[in-house]
Structure 1
């Protein structure tokens, strides 16, 4: 399921950010917004909901989906406001259900206006994060667009200086 607002014009560069609650996502979003503003492009945001687990009754699964959808909309709305402030225009929003990497690949294949994927790399010692690991490894060849990785340890001033 995908919700899109304000589709991009063909000539615009669209910077896609995967939205979640991680601290490094904020750096990726800031970088994408600053690059979009400087290049006359737009920001697109993808939030992927986990599918309900287990074999619950249909009504329970429906309720779980509704709650997950509401949470997704709340998270995306909060970050969409930040993106609009930084770029001067609302981002395109996509909300889907499934595995993040699978839905990300599907969206990039479906939406030809997306021209750059921007991911944040975790600054903790736990590794760069699952999407960065996947797309700098075996899945990297499946991307038709460039991947920009923004280090999670950068400050806002450092991001502003390089974007």
Structure 2
């Protein structure tokens, strides 16, 4: 009669070495595997601070082997009385958004050597930022720049540093709005 443990391919015992194997050895970690690419998301708006957030994201992406993603959100306007006029305005806003994104994409390419991912969405800006982050698992950092106006740092920063941060799965980087280009370059 044979020993059932010795014939079981999953559980074999070696009395000579005192070791017990419970199955095939785990594969060795692949030392050539690359870590996932970090994607820095920048929200495009009309603020002067956009250039600071964009530059920071580009420099960090370049130094870490990451990429940049740009999000332009077309926020809903007032309810229009005529659907045709509303559709025309929406088309104009979308064309404007695409034109701005193409210009910024050239800046990203100049600073990083790569083309950014471009997103155009319609809706509430903060809701669309959260939705995109949830839908795109490759996005790993949200980069915003703080305004220097007396009204405060800006609506997105105000939201995300209060209630909104708990809804995010990624870190938030805030670039000070008063930082100069040389200082920004030095810290990235």
- Structure 2 length normalisation: TM-score? 0.80
Residues 10 and 113, structure 1, Cα contact 8 Å, conserved in 2: no
**Using the alignment, how far apart are the partners of 2:78 and 2:149 within structure 1?**
29
**Using the alignment, how far apart are the partners of 1:127 and 1:162 within structure 2?**
24
**Using the alignment, how far apart are the partners of 2:179 and 2:106 within structure 1?**
22
Instruction: Give the CA deviation at 1:32.
Output: 0.2
Q: How does 1:65-76 map to 2 (within 5 A)?
A: 65-76=90-101
Instruction: Give the CA deviation at 1:99.
Output: 0.7
**Using the alignment, how far apart are the partners of 1:64 and 1:56 within structure 2?**
12
Do residues 145 (structure 1) and 173 (structure 2) align?
Answer: no
**Residues 10/23 of structure 1: CA separation in 2 closer, same or farther (3 Å cut):** same
Q: How does 1:65-104 map to 2 (within 5 A)?
A: 65-104=90-129
Per-residue CA deviation, residues 5-48 of structure 1 (Å, 9 max, x unaligned), is xxxx9810000000111111110000000000000000000000
Corresponding residue of 1:108 = 133
Do residues 34 (structure 1) and 83 (structure 2) align?
Answer: no
Do residues 63 (structure 1) and 93 (structure 2) align?
Answer: no
Q: RMSD of the TM alignment (CA)? A: 1.3
**Using the alignment, how far apart are the partners of 2:77 and 2:147 within structure 1?**
26
* Structure 1, 72-81 or 91-100: larger mean CA deviation: 72-81
Corresponding residue of 2:152 = 127
For this pair of structures, how many residues does the alignment match? 155
1:11 aligned to which of 24, 36, 54: 36
Question: Which structure carries more relative contact order (alpha carbon 8 Å, separation 6+)?
Answer: 1
**Using the alignment, how far apart are the partners of 1:110 and 1:77 within structure 2?**
23
Corresponding residue of 2:21 = none
Indicate the SS of the match to 2:144. strand
**Using the alignment, how far apart are the partners of 2:146 and 2:35 within structure 1?**
29
Corresponding residue of 1:160 = 185
Indicate the SS of the match to 2:173. strand
- Structure 1 length normalisation: TM-score? 0.91
Larger Rg, first or second structure (1 or 2): 2
2:77 aligned to which of 30, 47, 52: 52
